Amino acid sequence: MSEASGIESSLLGRLPGGLRPREVEAPGSGRRRLVETTVLLLVFLLLALATVRDVVRAAGVNHRLAADLRTWRSVTGHDYHNLSTEQDIKGYSTRDVICGNTSPGAPGERTQVCFVMTGPIVKGQRAARGGYYLPPTVHDQRARRYACFGSAKRPSLCPR
């Protein structure tokens, strides 16, 4: 007699039938399996929906960023590839800020000009409705911004 069956016969065997441990599952009507499979399919459906929605969202963001980068290069006339981009994660809006050097150099090593991009994509570009400058080698923080113009003149974006 195995140890398991020994324990079962002594202690666990006294449990009511519905609580007693089993070596193999009792063949049921299949109702539980049906319920489990339905739940699994619903979970899969939710995950699939969330995945597709997220891919579409990410593709939209990529599309927008590509337009932002094109706009920055078009406005400044510089074909720089190392531009920094910042999205409005907290407000969940489509406002992006694109910064890049004003003269040739390593990324962020020169005075930077930043554009605040808003609105829809028209002919592959977006409207740069405002912006500001940043000194070299600093992070984009409100206190560091200067010579703000257009929509970026708001006190929430620029100190002066």
Partner 1 sequence: MESTRAGRRGRVLVGVLALLMLAATAEIVLDGALGHSPLIPKSPAIAGWLQGIGERLGYRIFLIAILVFACAYAGMLALARQISARWAIVLVAALHAIVFAGPILLSTDVFSYIAYARMGVQHGLNPYLHGPSSILHDPVYRYVGTDWKHVATVYGPIYTLISYPFGLLGVTGAVWGMKLLALLASAGTLTLTWRCACVRELNPVVALLAVGANPLYIVYGLGGAHNDMLMLLLMMAAVSLALVERPAAETRIDGAVVRAGTAAGGRVRAGMAAGLVVVGALVKATVAALLPFMILSKRRLAPVLGALIALGLGALSGYAAFGVHGIDVVSALNRDAAFVSTDSFPTEIAHLFGKPGVFPVDHYLLKAALVLIVLYLLWRTWRGYDWVAASGWTLLAISVTSTWLLAWYILWPLPLAVIARDRRLLAATLAVQALFIAHQVAPLIAPVP
Shorter beta-carbon distance to partner 1: residue 56 or 138: 56
Question: In terms of Cα–Cα distance, which of 49, 145, 20 is closest to 153?
Answer: 145
- Which residues have a Cβ under 8 Å from the Cβ of 107 and sit 6 or more positions away? 82, 84, 101
Phi and psi angles of residue 92, each rounded to the nearest 5 degrees, phi first? 60, 25
Q: Least distance to partner 1 from the beta carbon of 159, Å?
A: 26
**Residues in the site for partner 1, rule: CB under 8 A?**
2-4, 7-8, 12, 21-26, 36-37, 40, 44, 46-55, 57-60, 62-63, 65-66, 69-70, 81, 89-90, 92
Shorter beta-carbon distance to partner 1: residue 121 or 148: 121
Shorter beta-carbon distance to partner 1: residue 26 or 122: 26
Length of the chain: 160
CA distance 150 to 75: 14
Q: Least distance to partner 1 from the beta carbon of 67, Å?
A: 10
Residue ranges in the chain assigned as alpha helix (H) = 3-10, 31-76
CA distance 51 to 153: 39
Q: Least distance to partner 1 from the beta carbon of 160, Å?
A: 30
Q: Least distance to partner 1 from the beta carbon of 92, Å?
A: 5
Beta bridge partners, 99, equal 84, 114
Query: What is the spatial order of strands in the sheet that 146-150 belongs to?
Result: 84-87, 96-101, 112-122, 125-134, 146-150
Q: Least distance to partner 1 from the beta carbon of 119, Å?
A: 18
Shorter beta-carbon distance to partner 1: residue 78 or 149: 78
Shorter beta-carbon distance to partner 1: residue 14 or 63: 63
